[in-house]
Chain A
């Protein structure tokens, strides 16, 4: 329930620049997913907003107020830590009650009980409430850690890979739950993940971080369909975008050194020959590993295809992306 704005945020630890002049505005109620490999600055961005770390330069506002002098408690943010950080001397129930009992909230016990059991229900941990926090599996710890954030109604949720340790079924259940909780409460969400299904399905905005720089910020569709660089294009899409030298197909504009082809940008059945190296039947789709003029590429084809290893299939690019030598997109 607050707009979060980062303006010119930079942070270094020693000689290592972790965030470099990051500016982004997260609209009130938005669900922002930060993408980028390890070390890109995703977690540091969350810690800046939470107040656990202070930026070297730049300002952060939450709901229009500059929070530079605010403690984490005063910022009214809830955070799910990547390492769970459950209080080991407390039970699951006490862990979930902990934020509600803080001197800031001082929730009455009846309300605490009701909120804790509601959250435990959603996260499917009701039967573990009286366990010690240390006597849980990794997935259970992670759910308690999410629960500790969800029992509150903060203005901003910060979540650092909150679903990473869960099995596939639970992950897809909780993806929907988290999205609807966030949508219902209207809280602003800043979410770090490696999982692009999460990014594509939950995000209203995606921020792509590269070595501490925010290289692109927009809706998931925008990032997917209109990436500004090879780097941004590789963040989304399964299988990943194929990047080949631009001259293998011809028709490339001047200055283009690479061509980028998502599976749907590869037209099958016309064009030049390629060899099928491997066929992966995934059920709803089939992946083809092709060899084209000694370059490997991966595309998707009909689920019931008869193609098999050693076959020849014609392919040609269809509205591909072109990139220059620095990796930037040429439109």
Chain B
């Protein structure tokens, strides 16, 4: 009996395609459900059995971005005709807009802290990984193990010491504090991942650059960094996803100024505990940046295969 590699038949390809599409649909259901819920009315959102076909409304999004107060019919009368489409939506519930909600600020905090810590983590991580990869660092293996060991327990296990430390240093509820914390948590992952990527880049390229008249740092910047782009991109995605989604530290260490979106979103549900569309709207918008970031860096994940210019 002999085996040979043959082009799969049309039927096989069709079946494979159908399976992949089917699997994708199943995994996408929760995501689609959240997006759909954002456009439902509160009644539809908690209807049982769940409604799949419904009349879409932007009420969830309006509620997400506004603070509202209940108004008596007299007050509604006095306020005159609704000026805008969102005024109209809240009037129907017998309320008036009393001001913007804090979702915008919280979202911005997430962006600053998430991207800030990712950036810092990449800068420190790449340089540390380069040093571990290329230089004779004393106690290299022990140091690397120490860095890895910081990841051996869940970060939240050290929440209380960190809380006390932050309080003494005045870092509670500050952007800087959260950026430092997420950087510290992610650094072990990024050093280890990036060291692997940099180890794969032959040292000959840097040697050529050194001979060609560049300093060690210029060689790193002009020759190593472009080739490590793939590794840096994928590591950055991991770091961003962690910092973006982190909930426990955010609840514990932030309350106002530096509060990120994850601890804020559950509070949107309101005193009546029924405003699921607003929560879903908040979650949907919260998904966007990481998705965009990942899609933007996707080409780097596929590119930069550098085999071939050094003879093995």
Contacts and interface: CB of A to CB of B under 8 A. Distances in A.
B211 A73 contact: yes
A275 interface: no
Nearest to A164: B311
A325 to B, nearest CB: 41
B204 A89 contact: no
Given A133-B309, A134-B309, A141-B309, A85 B213 contact: no
B308 A73 contact: no
Contacts of A85: 202, 204-205, 207-208, 309-310
A223 interface: no
A84 B310 contact: yes
B209 interface: yes
Interface in B253-312: 304, 306-312
Contacts of A84: 309-311
A104 interface: yes
Interface string A63-89: 000000001110001110111111111
B252 interface: no
Nearest to B216: A71
A3 B211 CA distance: 19
Nearest to B303: A89
A33 B218 CA distance: 32
A81 B309 contact: no
Given A84-B310, A88-B308, A89-B304, A102 B213 contact: yes
Interface residues of A, number: 30
B212 A102 contact: yes
B213 A99 contact: yes
Contact of A103 (B214, B216, B307): B214
B301 to A, nearest CB: 16
A104 B214 CA distance: 8
Given A81-B204, A103-B218, A87 B309 contact: yes
A52 B209 contact: no
A88 B214 contact: no
A279 to B, nearest CB: 38
Given A88-B227, A89-B304, A73 B310 contact: no
A83 B214 contact: no
A138 interface: yes
Nearest to B229: A89
A73 B209 CA distance: 9
A89 B226 contact: yes
Contact of B210 (A52, A88, A134, A148): A52
B227 A134 contact: no
Interface string B31-67: 0000000000000000000000000000000000000
B310 A105 contact: no
A322 B191 CA distance: 63
A50 interface: yes
Interface in A33-51: 50-51
Interface string A85-127: 1111100000000110011110000000000000000000000
Contacts of B227: 88-89
Nearest to A142: B311
B88 to A, nearest CB: 56
B223 interface: yes
Contacts of B218: 103
A327 to B, nearest CB: 34
Contacts of A86: 208, 309-310
Interface in B199-240: 202, 204-205, 207-216, 218, 223, 226-227
Contacts of A73: 210-215
A128 to B, nearest CB: 13
B211 A89 contact: no
Contacts of A81: 204, 207-208
Nearest to A52: B207
A87 B223 contact: yes
Interface of A: 50-52, 71-73, 77-79, 81-89, 98-99, 102-105, 133-134, 138, 141, 148, 165
14 contacts: A73-B211, A78-B211, A83-B311, A83-B312, A85-B208, A88-B227, A88-B306, A89-B226, A98-B209, A98-B212, A99-B212, A102-B212, A133-B309, A148-B212
The 6 closest A-B pairs by CB, nearest first: A102-B213, A99-B212, A85-B204, A88-B309, A88-B306, A104-B213
Interface of B: 202, 204-205, 207-216, 218, 223, 226-227, 304, 306-312
